[in-house]
Amino acid sequence: MAVSDSPQVRVRIAPSPTGFAHLGTASTTLYNVLFARVNSGTFTLRIDDTDIERNREEYERLIYEALHWLGFEWDEGPDKGGPYGPYRQSERLDLYREAAAKLIGESKAYRCYCTPEELDAERKQAQAEHRPYVYSRRCLTNPPTDRTVFTVRFHVPGGEVKFTDMVRGEMTFDSDLFGDFIIVKSDGYPTYNFASPLDDAAMQITHVIRGEEHLPNTPYQLLVVDALGYARPQAFAHMPLILAPDGSKLSKRKHPEANLMLYREQGYLPEAMVNYLALLGWNPGTERETFTLDELVAEFTFDRVQHGGARFDRKKLDWINGEYIRSLEDDDLTARLKTFLPDLDEATIERAAPALKTRLRVLGEAKALLEYLWADPPAPELSPEDRQRVKAAAVALSLLQEWEPVPIHDVLMQVVESSGLGPNATFMPIRLAVTGKKISPPIDYTLALLPKDVAMARIARAIQ
RNA sequence: CGACCGGUCGUCUAGUGGACUAGGACACCGGCCUUUCAAGCCGGGAAUCGCGGGUUCGAAUCCCGCCCGGGCUACCA
């Protein structure tokens, strides 16, 4: 969906560093990147750190790290500068202060000296009377003279606010229902609905692509932009929310699975993650399920975006991730597996790669499968019959010159044949002896991955 | 409370008045394959299209009402 008309497309994401990097941020970033790419536009990262209570610098780094992991890079941002900086709201306070002063000077905003307690009482009162709460405008008409602590409120002029949403079409809100909202907090910091539209205007943002929770905020922000005489963004796109299994918005507090880094730790591939995220709330209109980023750039359009929230389905993510793992070349899989298997050398991992490939949904599962290579399992209790068959196998194996899957396989099959039983009768006790588990890669791989003397020692121990 | 956004299999979704006996994917169940577990292949169950009214020869699709869910209504973003 290229927009050819007029100025260079400029989009942004504006996360607030108040906790771990959130899945929703990844999702929003993806859509911004897709739109910027297809329009050869600029993608900007801005840090919305106006909540001094909860902001922490380390959270900002977490956001960078998570986005980089997913393969996203921005053209402008706090860490790399750009022509519209600074890119941290805490460093742009003068801008907001000036704008607030201008609005007050023009009687489009006013100081409000009400205390949080007083406002709370107003709100409770409204609630008790079952009417929607709007600020009483007490400080507009009759401000107290004996107070010094104040916030700044925007004087809502009323009337309809219309804007274009690329997902939902033309939107109309009635601002008569709004009530005067706070634009500057008593600590001097701007609120989100003030700082965000100001920065979007100052940074020449042409399209605001963000989560659906901001849909009701948009008219507030437009009111501010209009009052200041700034240009509005050309269009908005409010993307469906990512929902928890219970249907509520995935939140940092209630849902630890919203933490992006968790997925890296468990061994999800970034490209699988991006693929799944793209499919959550959007579909190509075909039955295709796998897409690279480049393919998404080519296929994605806002008119095929879902209007309702989508539940995050770990099972489907697992499936897509498995698909990606299976499609990896052995050396690529090996490289990605390294951090998950610190006890193994690269050559061993690469030898195991073909057997691992069809058995992993996430890279982290490799550990359970290969643990026996560095952790000595306890000797199993084998029945006399099992012991007999393992003994026969041990003799055959000990004569083997070449300790590789194929010859191991061949020699074991001979033992199986002479036993007159199915392969499992021989293989399972060997598997138990060597790995201590009932589940492992195919027995020839399981043995070949281990040095021959170690494997033979474990077998010998089991048949003593 | 209110204006706002939604409501098709458990989940993600296709569907824009007749091709819908509502399609696909994940999950689930069964079979095949088989050296365990996977992968692969084949098959199966699973959606009164939130409910009730209209409009129409005909509605998942259009209109109205209702119900349910969500988001917002913060000196959070």
- CA→C1' distance for A446 and B46 (Å): 40
The percentage of residues in chain A with a pLDDT greater than 70, rounded to a whole number, is 99
- CA→C1' distance for A288 and B29 (Å): 25
Q: Mean pLDDT for chain A?
A: 94
Phi, psi angle pair for A309, to nearest 5°: -65, 155
> Is there a domain that residue A348 lies in?
yes
A436 beta carbon to strand B: under 7 Å: no
Query: What is the DSSP code (8-state) at residue A232?
Result: P
Write down which residues 113-132 in A have CB closer than 7 A to strand B: 114-116, 119, 123, 127, 130-132
> Are the C-beta atoms of A100 and A69 separated by less than 8 Å?
no
pLDDT score of A464: 82
A355, A296: one domain: no
pLDDT score of A5: 56
CATH assignment at residue A251? 3.40.50.620
Write down which residues 55-84 in A have CB closer than 7 A to strand B: none
| ipTM summary value | 0.95
The helix (run of H) or strand (run of E) holding residue A11 is strand A10-13
Which nucleotide is closest to the Cα of A216 by its C1'? B72
> Are the C-beta atoms of A12 and A48 separated by less than 8 Å?
no
A389, A350: one domain: no
pLDDT score of A2: 56
Range of the domain at A168: 96-184
Q: Give per-residue pLDDT as tens, A195-247.
A: 999 999 999 999 999 999 999 999 999 999 999 999 999 999 999 999 999 99
> CA of A136: how far to CAs of A34, A122, A364, A463, in Å?
44, 8, 57, 86
A427 beta carbon to strand B: under 7 Å: yes
Q: CA-CA distance, A405 to A442, in Å (whole number)?
A: 9
CATH assignment at residue A113? 3.90.800.10
> Is there a domain that residue A263 lies in?
yes
- Strand B nucleotides within 7 Å of a protein CB: 1-8, 10-15, 23-27, 34-40, 69-77
- Indicate whether A309 pLDDT > 60: yes
pLDDT score of A3: 58
pLDDT score of A321: 98
> Is there a domain that residue A233 lies in?
no
Torsion of CA A142, A147, A152, A157, to 10 degrees: 0
The percentage of residues in chain A with a pLDDT greater than 90, rounded to a whole number, is 91
A271 beta carbon to strand B: under 7 Å: no
- CA→C1' distance for A352 and B35 (Å): 17
A356, A308: one domain: no
A383, A463: one domain: yes
User: A206: which 2 tokens?
Assistant: 């042409």
| DSSP line for A149-215 | --EEEE----SEEEEEETTTEEEEEEGGGT-PPEEE-TTSPBPHHHHHHHHHHHTT--EEEEEGGGG
Q: Give per-residue pLDDT as tens, A35-56.
A: 999 999 999 999 999 988 888 8
pLDDT score of A327: 97
A352, A385: one domain: no
Out of A327, A361, A396, pick the residue that ends a domain: A327
Q: Give per-residue pLDDT as tens, A362-410.
A: 999 999 999 999 999 998 888 999 999 999 999 999 999 999 999 999 9
> Is there a domain that residue A411 lies in?
yes
Number of domains present in the structure of chain A: 4
Cis, bond preceding A7 (omega within 30 deg of 0): no
Report chain A's terminal Cα–Cα distance, integer Å. 71
> Is there a domain that residue A111 lies in?
yes
- CA→C1' distance for A110 and B53 (Å): 50
A6, A56: one domain: yes
- Indicate whether A78 pLDDT > 90: yes
Q: Which residue's CA shows the smallest distance to C1' of B23? A: A287
Mean pLDDT of A98-113: 96
| DSSP line for A278-308 | HHSSB--SSS-----HHHHHHH--GGGB-SS
- Indicate whether A1 pLDDT > 80: no
Q: CA-CA distance, A153 to A132, in Å (whole number)?
A: 19
A403 beta carbon to strand B: under 7 Å: no
A248 beta carbon to strand B: under 7 Å: yes
Which nucleotide is closest to the Cα of A245 by its C1'? B11
Which nucleotide is closest to the Cα of A438 by its C1'? B36
Assess whether A252 carries a catalytic annotation.
yes
A349 beta carbon to strand B: under 7 Å: no
Q: Give per-residue pLDDT as tens, A320-377.
A: 999 999 999 999 999 999 999 999 999 999 999 999 999 999 999 999 999 999 999 9
- Indicate whether A140 pLDDT > 80: yes
Out of A143, A169, A184, pick the residue that ends a domain: A184
A389, A451: one domain: yes
A346, A399: one domain: no
> CA of A78: how far to CAs of A46, A51, A82, A210, in Å?
7, 17, 8, 19
- Indicate whether A4 pLDDT > 60: no
> Are the C-beta atoms of A161 and A173 separated by less than 8 Å?
yes
> Is there a domain that residue A441 lies in?
yes
Cβ atoms < 10 Å from Cβ of A80: 12
Out of A167, A184, A201, pick the residue that ends a domain: A184
> Is there a domain that residue A316 lies in?
yes
Q: CA-CA distance, A27 to A263, in Å (whole number)?
A: 14
A64, A20: one domain: yes
A141, A74: one domain: no
| DSSP line for A318-346 | HHHHHHHHHHS-HHHHHHHHGGG-TTS-H
Q: Exposure pattern of A377-397 as b/e (b: 16+ CB <10 Å)?
A: eebbebeeebeebbebbbebb
Q: Give per-residue pLDDT as tens, A431-461.
A: 999 999 999 999 999 999 999 999 999 999 9
- CA→C1' distance for A100 and B54 (Å): 53
A49, A100: one domain: no
A241 beta carbon to strand B: under 7 Å: yes
> Is there a domain that residue A204 lies in?
no
CATH assignment at residue A391? 1.10.10.350
Which nucleotide is closest to the Cα of A408 by its C1'? B35
Catalytic residue among A102, A185, A249, A252: A252
- CA→C1' distance for A307 and B14 (Å): 15
Q: What is the pTM of this model?
A: 0.93
A176, A148: one domain: yes
